Amino acid sequence: MSPPIEVRWLFRRIYTYAATLLNSAGVMAIVWRIDDPAALKWIGLALIGANVVMATLYLSGATVTDWAKLAAAARRGTD
């Protein structure tokens, strides 16, 4: 029996490349139209955060369940 599609490396590569391209295209469109430095700062920080998520999915092989476990552990740590 083959592993679920989310766990397969081919799916991860396709998903990561597609999401990164869409993310970059969206940011490029926003940056093209915005002249406000403060707004551009937050867009840049959001892009860095999105790229961290994409890199984690692609490089470490984290699944959605792994992200959920990480978020649950972070919530328990802040109580």
Rounded CA gap, 59 and 63, in Å? 11
Give domain status of residue 61, yes or no: yes
Domains contained in the chain, number: 1
Residues 28-77 pLDDT 10s: 877 787 888 888 888 878 887 887 777 776 666 667 777 788 888 888 87
Residue found by looking up tokens 């992200």 in the block: 67
Give domain status of residue 1, yes or no: no
Distance in Å from the first CA to the final CA of the chain: 41
Give domain status of residue 34, yes or no: yes
Residues 9-40 pLDDT 10s: 777 778 778 887 887 887 787 778 788 888 88
Residue 3 per-residue DSSP state: P
Give domain status of residue 2, yes or no: no
Give domain status of residue 14, yes or no: yes
- Structural domain that includes position 14: 8-78
Give domain status of residue 64, yes or no: yes
Residue found by looking up tokens 């469109």 in the block: 29
